[in-house]
Amino acid sequence: MQEQLISEHLRDLVQIERISTRDNITMVTVRTPCLNRNLLTLIKSRLLPYNLQSDIMSFSTVALNGQTEDVADIMVYSVHHEDSDKLSLVPAMYLSDKPDKEKRWYSGPWMNLMLFIITSIIVFITGSATIVNRSLTDEWIWTIGFQFSIALMAILTAHEFGHYFAARYHGLKVTLPYFLPGILIPPGIMAGFGGTTVMPGTFGAFIRIQSPIQNRKQLLDVGASGPIAGFIVCLIVLIYGFITIPEKEWAYQFYDVSKLQEGDSVLQFGDSILFSLFGSWLAGDRMPAMYDIVHYPLIFAGWFGILVTALNLLPLGQLDGGHVWYALFGKKQKYAGYATFGVIVIMALWLDITSWFLWAILILVLIRIKHPPILDEDTPLDTRRKLIGMVAIIIFILTFMPAPIYEKVLTY
């Protein structure tokens, strides 16, 4: 009965692809040339007289016969007045085909905490052993491990909770951060000079936003808050690290510097505008060679934080930078996306850096070049948010590294 009522009142507005009901909740998949705020308001007004409330659950754009159409999953559920005369809504959790108890093993906050602890331990071991040319069976340098792990985890945590609190501010359903543990790679495998591993002990972290982003304000806030929060912590780590950096000879205790000969190939860490300026201003003559920064826990953690920030702010698809550019410039974001993809391919070929080839593949398969549309394309950003968006773009310029990690031939 509910399905028939919904079909009758919506079929002249949208094309209904699928419709099914479970526990008095109806899921309707609709297709329309342009799904916007006005259309959603009209759908709500059609159903409200029958005590039916509608919420959009997911939204995407598909290509069909050379044309694009919007596809959305809409949840329709009954509302009723209780004794308190307050509106009571059917919980969205009943949409799942599995009981909520079966989901708790992976959806509870203990899973986020466990991943955080495991990641922190691996990052600590990386700092204590492998980045200072120790095998896992050698004596560890615990102080370096603590410095590296605390600094790096603080940067990643600030980044993810920046997204999290921005999403919560806008009432979006969002998960706590999921941290991704890295791999403990012994010195000598995927290693820099002297056997030091270049792996930081983590593959980063992510959150899942489970509500559709409605407008540009939400998109800008959620997209920019993570990189800006992580960048602030990264600045603190780098400033303190460069101010307290020892003489460059300090790194020589971890390998035999006499073996460095002209013409040798070493694994070099890339430079950025920000890193170069900080090194010149704060470290001066104590600034180590870029292939040696891995031996300085705070400097290396800050360097990795800069790299993560820059990659996230690329103006592509579902990256943070894609969110920021789409919020600022709407569908014109695609031009920045195509230009960025072209530059990445050129850098991969010209600089012969394998990692940029991998990024090009990831962009085509997962990240995408164009940002997907949002429901409300028309509501403009206020001046404050435009300034925040420009700050995010400036951060990208300051942190971008054309060649993050590459081989360099020593010359004297």
Give me 278's structure tokens.
């900080």
Give me 261's structure tokens.
């000969």
Rounded to an integer, the average pLDDT of 64-93 is: 57
Torsion of CA 110, 111, 114, 118, to 10 degrees: -170
In whole angstroms, give the CA distance from residue 28 to residue 30: 6
Residues in the chain: 412
C-alpha 189, offset from chain centre = 28
In which element (H, E) is residue 147 found? helix 142-169
* CATH architecture of the domain formed by 2-101: 2-Layer Sandwich (3.30)
Nearest 5°: CA angle at 302, between 296 and 304? 100
Q: Which of 32-46, 145-159, 319-333 has the lowest mean pLDDT?
A: 32-46
Is 58 within 8 Å of 72 (Cβ atoms)? yes
Domain with CATH 3.30.1360 in the chain: 2-101
In which element (H, E) is residue 111 found? helix 109-128
Phi, psi at 160, each rounded to 5°: -70, -40
* pTM, to two decimals: 0.77
pLDDT in tens, 249-260: 888 887 777 777
pLDDT in tens, 204-239: 999 988 777 888 999 999 999 999 999 999 999 999
* 3 state SS of 199: coil
Residue type, 305: G
Residue with tokens 């170069």: 276
Strands 52-64 and 67-81: antiparallel
Q: What is the pLDDT of residue 185?
A: 59
Mean of all residue pLDDT scores within the chain: 83
